């Protein structure tokens, strides 16, 4: 049997190492992956009726989306940044509704939106890859 605390520490060190080695492009990709992971967990918790865990997972996803939104440079990003800002706001509001209603269909809607953003983001070569 393994020690849960030791496993958690190992995972934390692994994540911190990935973050330290990533460029900004990679960090955004990691945030998008993290949001998708939280939402996958939230869907499972909704299906099992685990309201407390559902709330924590949805809250974590909202937190990640809020960090993505805060990283936008509206002035330099122009129309694209404004569009993402509005989309992130919409996703956060939808996730609040999903949590209140325990509605996995709303979570699936947000997963679809984030997946589309991630797909587009992954198609952009990072500065490290093009150097």
Please state, in angstroms and rounded to a whole number, the distance separating the CA atoms of residues 45 and 58.
Answer: 10
Helical spans, DSSP H, in the chain = 4-21, 24-48, 51-70, 74-101, 104-123, 127-130
Of the candidates 7, 81, 69, which has an alpha carbon nearest to the alpha carbon of residue 32?
Answer: 69
Cβ–Cβ contacts within 10 Å for residue 28, how many?
19
Percent of the chain with pLDDT over 70: 79
Residue with tokens 């955004």: 28
Residue 62 and residue 95 in contact, taking contact as beta carbons nearer than 8 Å: yes
pLDDT reported for residue 52: 97
State the pTM of this model.
0.80
Interval 26-80: pLDDT, tens:
889 999 999 999 999 999 999 999 999 999 999 999 999 999 999 999 999 999 9
Angle, vertex CA 130, rays to CA 127 and CA 131, nearest 5:
85
Q: Give the contacts of 46 (CB within 8 A, at least 6 positions apart).
A: 54, 98, 102, 103, 104, 107
Whole-angstrom distance, CA of residue 53 vs CA of residue 95: 14
């Amino acid at each position: 049997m393994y020690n849960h605390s030791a496993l958690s520490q190992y995972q934390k060190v692994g994540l911190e190492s990935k973050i330290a080695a990533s460029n900004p492009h990679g960090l955004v990709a990691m945030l998008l992956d993290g949001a998708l992971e939280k939402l996958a967990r939230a869907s499972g918790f909704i299906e099992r009726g685990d309201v407390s865990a559902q709330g924590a997972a949805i809250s974590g996803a909202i937190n990640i989306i809020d960090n993505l939104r805060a990283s936008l440079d509206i002035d330099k990003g122009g129309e694209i940044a404004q569009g993402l800002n509005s989309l992130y706001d919409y996703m956060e509001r939808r996730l609040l509704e999903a949590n209140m209603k325990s509605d996995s269909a709303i979570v699936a809607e947000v997963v679809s939106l984030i997946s589309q953003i991630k797909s587009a983001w992954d198609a952009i070569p990072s500065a490290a890859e093009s150097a």
